[in-house]
Structure 1
Amino acid sequence: MIGSLTADVRSIDDAGDREDLLHKKMHLELVANTVALKDVVLPSKPWELIAVGAENRLTTGVPGNHVIVYRGELRAAPSVDAKVHKAHKVVVKLATRARSFEALIREGELYAGPLAEMSNRAVPSCYGVFRVTNRTVVDDENDCSFGCLILADLGEPVESFAKADEMFQIRLVNVLVELHHKMHMTHGQVYPVNVFDKNGWPFLVDFSRAKLNHQCKFLLERDALKEFGLDVKPKFEDLPCKELYKVTEAVNGWRPSSFICYNLAFDVEFLESPLDIMDKAPPEFTAEDAFEDAHEAIIKYYNKWMPATGKGKAHADALEENRVSWLKEFKAERARASRG
């Protein structure tokens, strides 16, 4: 555990054109109950937080939240043998207002509290929240640093949930199920920018909008997605948890509950009843067109959403073998309906 640090703090304008040194050799003291360093070896030696320049600025976060995010390094102080204590690559969330610093303390307490069990497994290691003890005002009271939250650097966030590897998608849903059901917490911002891929395992960051005491009604066990992507998407009222529902939807954890044919939406139950689909064909469709479009829609759905089942190929093969008799049956059915 690091008890104190020294650091330089810099301010950069929104365009990234101007960088000003606000504080040099700032003293940072650890805020209690904000450290979660599971499986991270960190000897109690003097450490320095190496300040970063404009090129390492990651984001300003939500507009108006007065938190700037940088990349940096925790290095052994010059008095310590740097060869013995390797530098730790970190991300620094720097608060420039007293209120935003209080929010960082809350986030640090979450990492050290309910999220501690997930540290270095599904959330980043947290080196702690540090309060500035020698803060000095440069221009006015609003132009200074109050403290920072230091987390392990996980690299770059994922680009898209839908394009991620299927195993990663399953693991992401399982991590959220654990967060909701075991920690009774919602994240609040499960977007690609806040999800990282560490050797195939999802890591969540930015718990600034997390909520506690969540009683999740999304009834899935951690291994519930054994048939990932094969189950039909349920109605929201059947699994009423907005966060898990939206994420499972985003990773294609369910297949669509309907498909399109004749510019009409059909429930997936119609996949097993081609004749019932054809009965809904608009009157301007010939029997041949209605027949071909219905079977094409069925095969397309199977191939896109259930490729591993082989149902698309099986239906196409059966159609090729039985096209004449099936079409004859449909024409006869249509003729009877028109006479009735």
Structure 2
Amino acid sequence: MSLVADVSSYDTFEEELDVILHSGMTLQAVKGTSVRPLPFAHCKLDATVELTARGKPNGVAVYRGITRDEHNSNSAPIKVAVKVAERLSSLGELTREAKFYVDRLRGLVDYCVPVCYGVYQVQDPEGGQYGFGCLILEDCGDRVYSFVHYSDEDDKTLFRTRLVNVVFELHKSNVRHGDLQSKHILDKDGWPYLVDFSRATDHACPRASDPTSEIEFGKTLQPSLETFGCQEFYETCVDAKAWLPYTFKCDGTAFPAYSHLRAPRTVADFLMKMDTTGTTPREAIELAHRAICDYYKKHLPEKGEAYEDDLDKNLVFYCDQYEEDYARRLAEDVDAEY
């Protein structure tokens, strides 16, 4: 398959057209780099929207454009993103990335990652300002710049739910993205797509067999990283706000919600240990219960209401119990010293 390409952008500073690939160049498809080839024997590529400027350290500039049948002006165009190699070494990196799509991501095309149409290499590179070839991918929309970029709460929840599932599917395929920032997530009609697999690696994810339905968005306590096991998937859930806040505050100190919401006595013990103002055991345990109640009321209102009802009935009892237990432990510590 041959490709005729016009890839350029207007340089407003120099007030001239900055051409990186032009129609006088002959580009040939690199074997083994396409998940799905472009559907034309003779393709014309026009890309004039610069997404990433030239001169980056990786030697790759990114453009948005269309491909169409060069010999049929009535053919339906295909929207594409074009990664142009400014150096020969950069073309090698793009080729490796394309083969990763072919070898490892083929099963995720159409719902997790864009279609890879392959790498096209300039046959007689001119050097200088011109490129050495390009990687052509399906255009899957704009970067999101935030994992929760929708303003509407329902749309926001839906997008982040889909995002967590996309990363989950990636890890089920034994692939770690390696650079999962928001700039590498695209929004295609409300569906997240992952791009830029230049740092992707093999990955045996410890969460790969877990159903993502266990993560009930906004209602599940955030576990520790050590408990969860997979850093990239964990960080995705955190950035997508899949879990409730990791900590709650009591008397100015932050406590992990996952381990301390069910342990008011542990919180009270810490307050007693760190106290320098004469807090009593009764005050410490009440502070702990009130802080836990406030967390639940803010993030799980029904549970918070039930917790508050229980405190109205039983707080005095809880205070009596803790006060007696604290005094007993204090006496045991004194006896142990003698």
Q: TM-score per shorter chain, which class?
A: 0.7 to 0.9
Where 1:33 maps in the other structure, the secondary structure is coil
Counterpart of 2:45?
49
C-alpha contact (below 8 Å) 2:148/2:159 kept by paired residues: no
Paired AA for residue 177 in structure 1: F
Corresponding residue pairs, total: 318
1:223 aligns with 2:217: no
Residue 311 to residue 163, structure 1, CA distance change in 2 (3 Å): farther
Distance 1:274 1:129, change over 3 A: same
Give me the whole-angstrom Cα distance separating, in 2, the residues matched to 1:296 and 1:221.
34
Using the alignment, how far apart are the partners of 1:92 and 1:116 within structure 2? 19
Q: Which residue of structure 2 aligns with residue 255 of structure 1?
A: 244
For residues 138-153 of structure 1, the aligned pairs below 5 Å read 140=128, 143-153=129-139
Are the aligned partners of 1:287 and 1:331 in contact in 2 as well (CA < 8 Å)?
no
Flag the 1:275–1:255 CA change in 2: closer, same or farther, 3 A: same
The equivalent residue for 2:5 is 7
Please give the secondary structure, in 2, of the residue aligned with 1:150: strand
Inter-CA distance 62–329: structure 2 relative to 1 (3 Å threshold):
farther
Question: 8 Å contact 1:216–1:241 — kept in the other structure?
Answer: yes
Contact 2:82-2:134 at 8 Å conserved across structures: yes
Q: 2:67: which partner in 1?
A: 74
Given candidates 63, 87, 90, the residue that maps to 2:80 is 90
The aligned counterpart of 2:170 is: 179
- State the secondary structure of the residue aligned to 1:176: helix
TM-score norm. by structure 1 comes to 0.78
For residues 11-45 of structure 1, what are the alpha-carbon distances to aligned partners after superposition, in whole Å with 9 as ceiling and x for unaligned? Answer: 7779786543355312221111222239xxx6434
1:102 aligns with 2:92: yes
Alignment RMSD (CA, Å) = 3.4
Confirm whether residue 271 of structure 1 aligns to residue 267 of structure 2.
no
Structure 1 residue 189 displacement after superposition: 1.0
Pairwise CA distance, 1:180: 2.3
Q: CA 1:296–1:200 in 2, change beyond 3 Å: closer, same or farther?
A: farther
Separation in structure 2 between the aligned mates of residue 332 and residue 235 of structure 1, nearest angstrom: 30
Structure 1, residues 214-267: CA drift from partner, whole Å, max 9, x if none? Answer: 222335424353434544433333343322222222223333554210122335
Structure 2 contact 293–307 (Cα < 8 Å) conserved: yes
The equivalent position to 2:291 in structure 1, one of 292, 297, 319, is 297
> Which shows bigger deviation, 233-242 or 123-132?
233-242
CA–CA distance in 1 between the matches of 2:42 and 2:218?
51
Counterpart of 1:123, as a letter, is V
SS state at 2:114 partner: coil
Deviations 1:36-67 (A, max 9, x none): 239xxx64343210131xxx211148941010
Q: Check whether the contact 1:9–1:145 (CA below 8 A) recurs between aligned residues.
A: no
Structure 2 gap ranges (5+)? 151-155, 332-338
Shift of 1:6: 0.7
Q: 1:200-211 counterparts in 2 under 5 A?
A: 200-211=190-201
Taking a change above 3 Å as real, the CA distance of residues 24 and 160 of structure 1, as seen in their structure-2 partners, is closer
Residue 331 of structure 1 deviates from its aligned partner by: 6.9
SS at match of 1:227: coil
User: Relative to 1, partners in 2 of residues 1:337 and 1:210: Cα closer, same or farther, differing over 3 Å?
Assistant: closer
Relative to the length of structure 2, the TM-score reads 0.79
- For the residue of structure 2 that corresponds to 1:298, the secondary structure is helix
The CA deviation at 1:98 is 0.4
Shift of 1:163: 5.3
Matched, 1:36 2:35: yes
CA positional deviation for 1:115: 0.7
Change (3 A) 1:219 1:81: closer
Q: How far 1:335 sits from its partner (Å)?
A: 8.6
Distance 1:191 1:272 in 2: 34
The one-letter code sitting in structure 2 at the alignment partner of 1:181 is K
Q: How does 1:119-134 map to 2 (within 5 A)?
A: 119-134=109-124
1:96 CA displacement: 0.6
Q: How big is each residue's C-alpha offset from its partner over 1:102-134, in whole Å with a ceiling of 9 and x where there is no partner?
A: 111111112222211111111011221111124
Q: Secondary structure at the match of 2:142?
A: coil
Amino-acid identity (%):
36
Indicate if the aligned counterparts of 1:67 and 1:93 stay in contact, CA closer than 8 A.
Answer: yes
* Counterpart position of 1:24: 22
Query: How far off its partner does 1:160 sit?
Result: 1.7
Matched, 1:314 2:306: yes
